[in-house]
Structure 1
Amino acid sequence: MDHEQLIHSFVMAGYECSAQRRRDGRRLDMLHATGHARWAEQDYQQLAALGVRSVRDGLRWHLIDRRPYQYDWSEVLPMIAAARRTGIQVVWDLCHYGYPDDLDIWRPAFVERFARFAAAFASLLADGGEHAPLLSPINEISFWSWAGGEVGYFNPCATGRGQELKHQLVRASIAAIQAIREVVPAARFLQCDPLINVLPTSRRAEHIAAAEAYRLAQYESWDLLTGRSWPGLGGQEACLDIVGANFYPQNQWYFSGEKIPPGHADFRPLQGMLSELHQRYQRPVLLAETGAEDTARVPWLCYVSAQLQLARSRGVPIIGLCWYPFLDYPGWDDDRYCPTGVFGYPDASGSRAPFHPLHLALQQTSAQMNRQHCNPRVSHEP
C-alpha cells in the first residue's frame, strides 16, 4: 500500500481530543472546549483551501460507554457523517487519555471493555461502508504512563506505577487491535508516542548512562507492542503498523535539567531522530503531532517541513505531517488561551478566523509536499 492509498494528503489536521480527568477531578473535553464537536463539518470544510484531506480526530469513550457495552454513538455519528460529506479521511483516536468513570484502569476489565468498545466502533464504521479504517487505539502510551502512573498529573493519578500502567495500556491496545481485526481485517493502526532526545549534564559515566537510558525509554511502548520485550503481554510484530512520532520544540532536554531550545548546538536534528526510529522498526512513519505557539508557529513549520524532506531524501518512509492542535484551545491546567492552531475559536455560527501567517505557510507546505506524496518506499503491510 503506497502513500496515496494510505494517507490522502501529506499534510494533516489534528483536532485536540484529550478527555482525561485532572488531579482535581475535573474532566477535560477538548472536542467540546474548542467547539469542534459541534462544528466538525464546518471545520472540515475549511481544510479544502489548504489542500488537506486527512485528519486526526477522536472519540470520547466516556460519553459513548456510560453503561457497559451499551453504546451511545450520538456524539460521534455527526462527525462521521461530516467527514463523509466533505470527503475527509479520519484517523480515529479511540482513547485519548479518557475512559469511563466506573472503570478501574488497573483491572482486567479495563482491557476487555476497551477491546469490546474498539470492535463496536469498527463495526459501526464497516456498517457505513468503511472497511479499511485507520485507527489509533491508545494515544501516547509512554506519556500517559508517565503522566498518569508516575507523577499523578492526570487519571489514574498514581505515582510510582508508571511501568505497571504502561503494561496495562499495551495489553488494552493489543486486545483492541485483535478485536478490530476480527471485524475489519483490513484496518490499519497508528501507534503514537513522543519522540525525544535527552543529553547528560556532564561527562561522568553515570550521568551519560542515566540520560541514555531515559532517551531509550521512548521506545519501550513500541517494543512491548511488537513483543520484543515482555512478550508475555501478547505483543507481536503485527501489532505495530504505522509508527506515529509526536515531536514539539520542548521534546529535548538535559537529564534532570533544562530544555534544549531549537537552534541550540545540542538540539538534535529531527531527521536524524526519524531515521533512528525507522531503522529500529522498519515501518512507515507519520509525524503524528507537531506544532508550536504564537509567533513560533511558522518558523517551526518551516523547520519541520525541511527536516521531513531531508529524511525522505535519505530513505525514511515519512507518510505525513499532522499539525496539532489544529485549533486554538484552552490550556489543560488553567484554561489559558493557547494560540497553537491554524484557526481560532468559533463564533456563534461556527466560523473561525485563521492565523494568516500559518494558514499561508501551511498552504504552501501542503502544495509542495503533496506533489511529492507518492513514494513506493513507504509500502508496508502489517
Structure 2
Amino acid sequence: MTWFQDGRLHFGVGVEDTFVPQTREGERALDEYELTEHYENWHADLGLAAEVGAEFMRWGIPWYRINPAQGRWDWTWLDGVMARFAELGIRPIVDLLHYGTPQWLDGEFANPDYPQHVAEYAVAVAERYADTVTDYTPVNEPMIHARFSGELGYWPPYLTGEDGLTRMIAALADGFVRSQHGIAEVLGDRATFVHVDATTRVVGAVDGEHADKVRLLRNQAFAVEDLVTGRVREGHPLLDHLLRHGMPEDLLDRLAATPALPDVMGVNYYPRHSTTLVEDGPWPAGGFVEPSPTRDDGVTGLEEIIRTYAQRYGAPVALTETCVTASVAERVTWLEESVALAHRLRAEGIPLVGYTWWPLFDMYEWTYRHADTPRSESLLTMGLWDLVESPSGLLRRRNGVADAFQRLAAADRAPVH
C-alpha cells in the first residue's frame, strides 16, 4: 500500500525551489535556494519540517547545479540532503523540474534535444536514489512554465505569442512523459508520480467581449496535463488550436499512445492569485498572468478546483501548494479554513489525500530577477518560519502559523476511536 492509500489526510510542506540561472541584460539569476540560504541551512531546514509534523516535503533538485556540464554530475550536496530525509523519516516528493535548465543546454526548452536531456537527468536521479526516493513530480506547474518561457518572453528561451507557447507546451509535455516512463523503468511499481498543476480560474465577464479568449484560457489551463495523459485526440477542444500553432502531429500520436498518468493529481491554489477577473475593455498586456486583475474567492474557489481535477483525471487529489502572503493571523485563518474544507470534502467522498503549506519558510518574489534592489525588498511573508536578516545571514524565526500547522497535522494523525 502506498502512502496515499491509507485513508488519511497527509500534511506536508514545501521549500520554494525556482531556478532560472540564465541571465541577459537587466536580469539577475533567480535561485531561491541561494536567496533563502537553503544551500547552507538545508540540514536544519529539513529539521524544521519534522518539528511541525510534516509527513512529506515537496523539494526540488537544482538541475543546473548537479549537472554542471553535459554528461557530468556532481552529487555531493544532494547525497547529504537525501540522507537527511531518510534520517528524519520525511518522504521527499522530488520536484525534478521547477523551472529552469542547465546553462550548457543552448536554447533551454527550445533545444530540440531538451526532452531527451531532461529524461536522462530524471533517470540518473532515480537510479542514484532508488533505495530511498520513490515519489516524483516530473514537471511543476507546466502551464505557468510554458507561458513565462513561451508566450510572455519573461524567462528563457524568451519566446512570445501562441506559436511560442505551443512550442513550449510540446517540449514540456514530451520531456514530462519521457521522464516519467524512464523513472518507472528504474523503480517499477514502487514509483509514485505526483503531477502538479498551477490552477487557473477565470471569472467575471466571461460571456462578454472576451468570451473566445476566456474559453481558450480555460482549456489551456489543462493543456499539458491533458497531453501527457493522452487526452488530446479527435474532439478535444484544443486539438485544432495546437496544430494550427505548430504542435507536431507525431508527438500528439506518441503522447496518446504512451500516456503518463498521475498516481496523485496535485493542485496549487493561492486564494489571492489563482482566480483571474475578466472585465470588458482592453485586454491586459500581461495576458492575464501577473499582475492581472484577480479576485479572492477563498475556499469556494479551492473547492471548485479540487472537485474539477478529481473528476477530470480520476486520481486521488492533493493540495500541493497553498498559502496567503499576509500577516500571521491571516495566514492562520486561511490554514484553518482550507483544512476544514479538506475534511469536509473527504467526508463527502472526494479522494483528497494531501495538504501542503507552501513554503516552509518565507521566499523571495520572482520579480527579484528584474530588480536591482536588495533581496529584503522582495521578501514574501508566506512561511511557517519568518526569514530575518542578521549579520550572520538569514535566521529562521518560528511564527504562529507553524503552531497552527503542527496542531492540525497532529490532530489528523491521532487515532480515531
TM over 0.5: yes
* Alpha-carbon shift at residue 268 of structure 1 (Å): 4.0
Match of 2:127 among 101, 105, 123: 123
* Alpha-carbon shift at residue 229 of structure 1 (Å): 0.6
Match of 2:197 among 186, 193, 197: 193
Describe the shift of the 1:125–1:203 C-alpha distance in structure 2 as closer, same or farther (beyond 3 A). closer
Does the Cα contact within 8 Å between 1:41 and 1:86 map onto a contact in 2? Answer: no
Q: How many residues align?
A: 365
* Range moving further from structure 2, 332-341 or 362-371: 362-371
* Alpha-carbon shift at residue 302 of structure 1 (Å): 1.9
Distance 2:323 2:184 in 1: 32
Which residue of structure 2 aligns with residue 109 of structure 1?
113
* Alpha-carbon shift at residue 221 of structure 1 (Å): 1.2
Query: Any idea what the Cα deviations from partners look like across 1:332-367, whole Å, max 9, x if unmatched?
Result: 213312111111237649862112x21121122212
Query: What amino acid maps onto 1:213 in structure 2?
Result: L
Match of 1:232 among 237, 242, 253: 253
Does the Cα contact within 8 Å between 2:60 and 2:96 map onto a contact in 1? Answer: yes
Match of 1:251 among 270, 274, 285: 274
Structure with more relative contact order (C-alpha pairs < 8 Å, separation 6 or more): 1
Percent identity, aligned pairs only, is: 26
The gaps in structure 1 that reach 5 residues or longer are 374-382
Which residue of structure 2 aligns with residue 137 of structure 1?
138
Query: Any idea what the Cα deviations from partners look like across 1:62-87, whole Å, max 9, x if unmatched?
Result: 11111112211123112112112222
Does the Cα contact within 8 Å between 1:69 and 1:117 map onto a contact in 2? Answer: no
Match of 2:410 among 342, 359, 367: 367
Secondary structure (helix, strand or coil) at the match of 1:333 reads helix
Distance 1:276 1:123 in 2: 35
Which residue of structure 1 aligns with residue 239 of structure 2?
none
* Range moving further from structure 2, 182-191 or 139-148: 182-191
Does the Cα contact within 8 Å between 1:345 and 1:352 map onto a contact in 2? Answer: yes
Does the Cα contact within 8 Å between 1:8 and 1:54 map onto a contact in 2? Answer: no
Distance 1:187 1:80 in 2: 17
Which residue of structure 2 aligns with residue 40 of structure 1?
42
Residue 314 of structure 2 corresponds to residue 314 of structure 1 = no
RMSD over equivalenced CA pairs, Å: 2.5
Which residue of structure 2 aligns with residue 337 of structure 1?
379
TM-score normalized by the length of structure 1: 0.88
Which residue of structure 1 aligns with residue 183 of structure 2?
180
Residue 297 of structure 2 corresponds to residue 269 of structure 1 = no
Distance 2:110 2:317 in 1: 31
Distance 1:210 1:56 in 2: 33
Distance 2:8 2:93 in 1: 11
Secondary structure (helix, strand or coil) at the match of 1:57 reads strand
Which residue of structure 1 aligns with residue 372 of structure 2?
none
* Alpha-carbon shift at residue 112 of structure 1 (Å): 0.9
Residue 356 of structure 2 corresponds to residue 354 of structure 1 = no
Does the Cα contact within 8 Å between 1:92 and 1:136 map onto a contact in 2? Answer: yes
Secondary structure (helix, strand or coil) at the match of 1:184 reads helix
Describe the shift of the 1:12–1:218 C-alpha distance in structure 2 as closer, same or farther (beyond 3 A). same
Does the Cα contact within 8 Å between 1:42 and 1:351 map onto a contact in 2? Answer: no
Distance 2:49 2:385 in 1: 10
TM-score normalized by the length of structure 2: 0.81
Which residue of structure 2 aligns with residue 166 of structure 1?
169
Residue 341 of structure 2 corresponds to residue 303 of structure 1 = no
Describe the shift of the 1:372–1:203 C-alpha distance in structure 2 as closer, same or farther (beyond 3 A). farther
Does the Cα contact within 8 Å between 1:8 and 1:89 map onto a contact in 2? Answer: no
Residue 93 of structure 2 corresponds to residue 91 of structure 1 = yes
Query: Any idea what the Cα deviations from partners look like across 1:132-173, whole Å, max 9, x if unmatched?
Result: 610111111111001111001212221111121011001001
Query: What amino acid maps onto 1:241 in structure 2?
Result: D
* Alpha-carbon shift at residue 117 of structure 1 (Å): 0.9
Does the Cα contact within 8 Å between 2:4 and 2:353 map onto a contact in 1? Answer: no
Distance 2:169 2:6 in 1: 28
Distance 2:122 2:172 in 1: 14
Secondary structure (helix, strand or coil) at the match of 1:182 reads helix
Does the Cα contact within 8 Å between 1:225 and 1:240 map onto a contact in 2? Answer: no
Which residue of structure 2 aligns with residue 241 of structure 1?
263
Which residue of structure 2 aligns with residue 14 of structure 1?
14
Distance 1:308 1:38 in 2: 35
The gaps in structure 2 that reach 5 residues or longer are 234-251, 284-291, 369-374
